[in-house]
Amino acid sequence: MASRAAATAPAAAVRKGRNVFAKIAIIAIASFFISGMVTWVIALAVAELPELRGVIGRGNYSNFLFIVFLAGFVLSLGASGYAFISKEELAGTSEVKKFEAAEQNLWKETLKPPKLTKAQKDALKRQKSRRAEDESKLINQLNEEEAELEDVLAASLASDEDGADEQPKVVTSKLSVAAEKQKVTLMTFLSRGLEQVMKSRPKLDTFSKFGVNLYLAGACEALGQTDDLTPEELENILIDSVGVLGTSREQAKKFTQSYEDYMRNPKYLGMIESGREAMQGQMRGNAEAAMSLDKALDQWNTRAADEQTSSGTIAVMFTDIVGSTAMTQNHGDEAAQEVVRTHNRIVRAALTTYQGREVKHTGDGIMASFSNTAQGVEAAIYIQRKTYQDNATNPTVPLGIKIGINAGEPIVEDADLFGTTVQLAARIVDKAGNYQIFVSETVKGICQGKAIQFQSRGTREMKGFKEPISLFEAVWQTGAEAAEPAAPAPAAAPAPAPAAA
């Protein structure tokens, strides 16, 4: 009986020790999460208070958060351990350690390695030497591959179209009070968006980070319209913001320098436009606008290029800026060029959204094609609505656009379109007025059954066409948009009398 009790005593001590270690592990994990939450709350508070961050210093910000995290972890661990672990349990762990040490000594005595001969020892040394050489070669190979991968990722983050070998010189300018305020707004906007993104994407890959940079660029541009911020201030705000994702300042500088190129590329313009719309929604009071980053990343990662076919019925769309000559005379070349840039941005965003292809720029407009005619009309409606919203925020030099669409089978040559289909589309846009979308009867017929409303605008004589052409207007105004006055279209020509039988 005594020997059985003596045998079960160490086992009970072991079980008690294991229970104590389990409690310590649970307390440590809970303390880690509690400290992380406290650090996150303090980081948000510092982001909302630029004066406090100025006292801490940009270089000391990471160290400050680490100290806060470490202090919170130690305090939480000590308090929880004091509350949930008794002295008797701790004393039991010392008995467990003594028992385990005695057990290890017993195993050492029992399992002593056999004595080796000199030949066996030499063979063992040679085997260890070869293993060390193999491990060294493998480590060197892995280091080389990792260095090459880091170079590729850094180049793709900087710009996939930038071939410059020389690193640009980074110049940091002091931000004004208004710029600091907008920087805090953008950082808060990014924090809310990433909070939603991290629920579905705990780790962002390089391609997704580049998409977030484009999204932030659009949001930053929307912010610049609210205050008289200089281009240098906007550039520095964007550089500091993209640095949150680990982009170096040199790479961020390259990104801002390539921004105009990204604006002209439909592949990137959709993400930029998503950021601009989200920031405008937040400034209008929509608290959930920043959460649209997750949806934008879904579209960014799944969007595939829609290749246009060279045969079959396609829609040809022409856009034209209304009163461009008078705008240059009244407001100057710089203001007129800014209007052209706004037009290009809106139209190219529509082409990205509705799978259109830009054929060429006509100076005062853009010629585009769509393999799906209904999507061409929907893209035109998108353009007019975005133009209306942009004019509401920038009423000084408003943008006026008229659009004409025709459908048919044009001739495709050298990535350009020719033929009667294109000629009629160009004539139709001339008949439209500001904020109007005129389409041919063919387009209206193809769109039957779609949620698009058309109103007849009679028939018009068209240069180069013997018979008058029936025109229809795609209706897009709803609510406040319908109150916006549109420039009157040319008077409708009377319908021709029916021919005698």
Decide which of 302, 330, 357 is a domain's last residue: 302
Cα gap 163→161, rounded to integer Å = 6
Q: Do 294 and 343 sit in the same domain of this protein?
A: no
32 band by pLDDT with thresholds 50, 70 and 90 = confident
| Nearest alpha carbon to residue 276 among 347, 214, 228, 233 | 214
- Give a yes or no: residue 365 inside a domain: yes
324 and 242 assigned to the same domain: no
Answer yes or no: do 285 and 360 share one domain. Answer: no
Cα–Cα distance list, 340 to 258, 260, 284, 319, 400 (Å): 19, 14, 26, 12, 10
Q: Is the pLDDT of residue 166 over 50?
A: no
Whether residues 209 and 260 fall in one domain: yes
For residues 6 and 101, membership in a common domain is answered with yes
Lookup: tokens for 29:
């994990």
Mark which of 109, 128, 149 sits at the end of a domain.
Answer: 109
Tens digits of residue pLDDT in 256-281? 777 777 776 666 777 888 888 888 88
Judged by average pLDDT, the poorest of 58-67, 153-162, 419-428, 463-472 is 153-162
Top-confidence residue, 9 or 370: 370
pLDDT tens profile 41-54: 887 777 777 676 67
Residues 250-255 have a mean pLDDT of 78
Across 100-114, 157-171, 364-378, least confident range: 157-171
Residue type, 398: P
Confidence band for 122, pLDDT divided at 50, 70 and 90:
confident
Choose the final residue of a domain: 60, 76, 109: 109
CB neighbour class for 7 (10 Å; exposed up to 12, middle 13-18, buried from 19):
exposed
| Amino acid letter for position 406 | N
Q: Distance (Å, rounded) from C-alpha 374 to C-alpha 451?
A: 10
Tell me the percentage of the chain whose pLDDT exceeds 70.
72
Residues 495-500, mean pLDDT to the nearest whole number: 35
Which stretch of DSSP H or E encloses residue 95? Answer: helix 87-110
Count structural domains, the chain.
Answer: 3
Q: Quickly state the pLDDT bin for 219 (edges 50, 70, 90).
A: confident
Residue 134 lies in a domain: no
DSSP state of 480: G
Question: Same domain, yes or no, for 379 and 341?
Answer: yes
Residues 355 and 463 in one domain: yes
Please state the rounded mean pLDDT for residues 182-199: 79
Retrieve residue 461's tokens: 């004589």
Does some domain include residue 139? no
Q: What's the mean pLDDT in 453-466?
A: 90
Pairing of strands 401-408, 437-440: parallel
| Residue 477 phi, psi (nearest 5) | -75, 135
- 201: region left, alpha or beta (phi > 0 left; psi from -120 to 50 alpha): beta
If you ran DSSP here, which 8-state letter would residue 489 be given? P
Q: What element of type H or E holds 349?
A: helix 333-353
Among 80-89, 229-238, 359-368, the range of highest mean pLDDT: 359-368
Average pLDDT over residues 446-474: 90
Q: How far apart are CA 428 and CA 317, in angstroms?
A: 10
In a domain, 461, yes or no: yes
- Could you tell me the CATH number of the domain that includes residue 421? 3.30.70.1230
Residue 341 and residue 448 share a domain:
yes
Lowest mean pLDDT among 388-402, 436-450, 475-489: 475-489
Determine if the pTM surpasses 0.85.
no
Examine the domain organization and report whether 469 and 360 are in the same domain.
Answer: yes
pLDDT score, position 306: 43
* Structural tokens at position 65: 């958060």
**Residue 85, amino acid:** I
In a domain, 98, yes or no: yes
158: in domain = no
Q: How confident is the model at residue 163, as a pLDDT?
A: 40
Who wins on pLDDT, 277 or 87? 277
CA 160, 161, 165, 166 dihedral sign is: negative
Question: How does the average pLDDT of the chain come out, rounded?
Answer: 74
For residue 236, what pLDDT band results from cuts at 50, 70 and 90? confident
* pLDDT(3) > 60: no
Cβ contacts of 112 within 8 Å, gap of 6 or more = none
pLDDT number for residue 490? 37
Confidence band for 88, pLDDT divided at 50, 70 and 90: low
Whether 141 is in a domain gets the answer no
For strand 437-440 and strand 469-475, is the pairing parallel, antiparallel, or unpaired?
antiparallel
Q: For the CA atoms of 112, 117, 120, 121, what is the dihedral angle to 10 degrees?
A: 80
Instruction: List for the chain the helix, strand, coil content (%; round to 5).
Output: 65, 10, 25
Write down the pLDDT at residue 106.
61
Domain ranges, residue 255: 177-302
Instruction: Report which listed range, 295-304, 334-343, 436-445, is most confident.
Output: 436-445
Residues 217 and 352 in one domain: no
Give 79's contacts (C-beta < 8 A, 6+ positions apart): none
Q: Are residues 7 and 100 in the same domain?
A: yes
Least confident piece of the model among 69-83, 107-121, 450-464: 107-121
Q: Give the residue carrying structure tokens 């998108």.
A: 382
Q: Which residues contact 75 (CB under 8 A, 6 or more apart)?
A: none
Mean pLDDT of 202-222: 79
Q: Per-residue pLDDT for 161 more than 70?
A: no
Whether residue 336 sits in one domain with residue 297: no
**290 in a domain, yes or no?**
yes
pLDDT at 406 over 90: yes
Cβ neighbours of residue 319 closer than 8 Å, sequence gap 6 or more: 343, 347, 365, 366, 368, 383, 401, 402, 403, 429
Structure confidence at residue 471 (pLDDT): 94
The whole-angstrom separation of Cα 97 and Cα 111 is 21
Is 191 within 8 Å of 47 (Cβ atoms)? yes
